[in-house]
Amino acid sequence: AQKITQTQPGMFVQEKEAVTLDCTYDTSDQSYGLFWYKQPSSGEMIFLIYQGSYDEQNATEGRYSLNFQKARKSANLVISASQLGDSAMYFCAMRERGSQGNLIFGKGTKLSVKP
Amino acid sequence: EAQVTQNPRYLITVTGKKLTVTCSQNMNHEYMSWYRQDPGLGLRQIYYSMNVEVTDKGDVPEGYKVSRKEKRNFPLILESPSPNQTSLYFCASSSDRSTNEKLFFGSGTQLSVL
């Protein structure tokens, strides 16, 4: 079974609008961390935001926020006021206490921002 | 500047010709890891290291070797590359393996094995 599921292979959003990228996860660990990374066409992996399993508040970093619903095991990324530079692949990932530090990735969502 | 440096950025080789992709970090991180990225599959861990002289297999270790003789360096070795190892490779590091530590990634190495 997949540990990280991203059900949207590709998405389009109009510039200046908000967009939500879905991520669900599967773990039996009580302690885990959830991460989102951005991969532009140049290929590098850019860290965006982190949410800990014990964090009670949703994480926010500038235009990025993480909608964390622990009971549903979902960790959706919300990008507000989309910009053309947001066009990229976005990966959801999880680090479990029992995973020896492995960051387990989903298959990614390709976001395209339309002018 | 804190960074993970991997080289080369691009590499084209032929089947069976041994190659090494270097990785170095300047953050005194204990944990280092190699990933490969293939279309539609996301990133998958090849090998990891929790400290000097401590390495272990990840999810897709076949055909690869690593070593960790110094804390800052974690080279990836393909002793006899095959076309199915054509992929985008990333080296990554973090201070340790804690669940709240983000991984810092290198810029990637695009490898083509002909």
Q: Is B50 in Cβ contact with A102 (below 8 Å)? A: no
Give the residue among A10, A27, A44, A34 at the shortest CA–CA distance from B37: A44
* pLDDT beyond 80 at A1: no
Q: What is the pLDDT of residue A108?
A: 95
Q: What is the pLDDT of residue A2?
A: 80
**For residue B38, what is the nearest residue in chain A, using CA coordinates?**
A107
Q: Is B107 in Cβ contact with A44 (below 8 Å)? A: yes
Taking the CA of residue A93 and the nearest CA in chain B, the distance in Å comes to: 10
Greatest alpha-carbon pair distance for chain B in Å reads 40
Nearest to B48 among A33, A91, A102 (CB): A102
Q: State pLDDT tens for residues A40-75.
A: 999 999 999 999 999 999 999 999 999 999 999 999
**Which residue is listed with tokens 């944990």?**
B31
Q: What is the pLDDT of residue A98?
A: 79
Give the residue among B76, B71, B97 at the shortest CA–CA distance from B88: B76
State the 10-residue block means of pLDDT for chain B, 114 residues long.
Answer: 95 96 97 95 94 94 97 97 97 91 95 96
Q: What is the pLDDT of residue B33?
A: 97
**For residue B97, what is the nearest residue in chain A, using CA coordinates?**
A101
Q: Is A53 in Cβ contact with B103 (below 8 Å)? A: no
- Give the separation between CA A20 and CA A98, rounded to whole angstroms: 29
Distance, C-alpha B70 to centroid of its chain = 15
Q: What is the pLDDT of residue B2?
A: 87
Q: What is the pLDDT of residue B99?
A: 85
- Give the separation between CA A45 and CA A37, rounded to whole angstroms: 6
Q: What is the pLDDT of residue B56?
A: 94
Q: Is A43 in Cβ contact with B107 (below 8 Å)? A: yes
Q: What is the pLDDT of residue A97?
A: 85
Q: What is the pLDDT of residue A29?
A: 92
Q: State pLDDT tens for residues A4-38.
A: 999 999 999 999 999 999 999 999 999 999 999 99
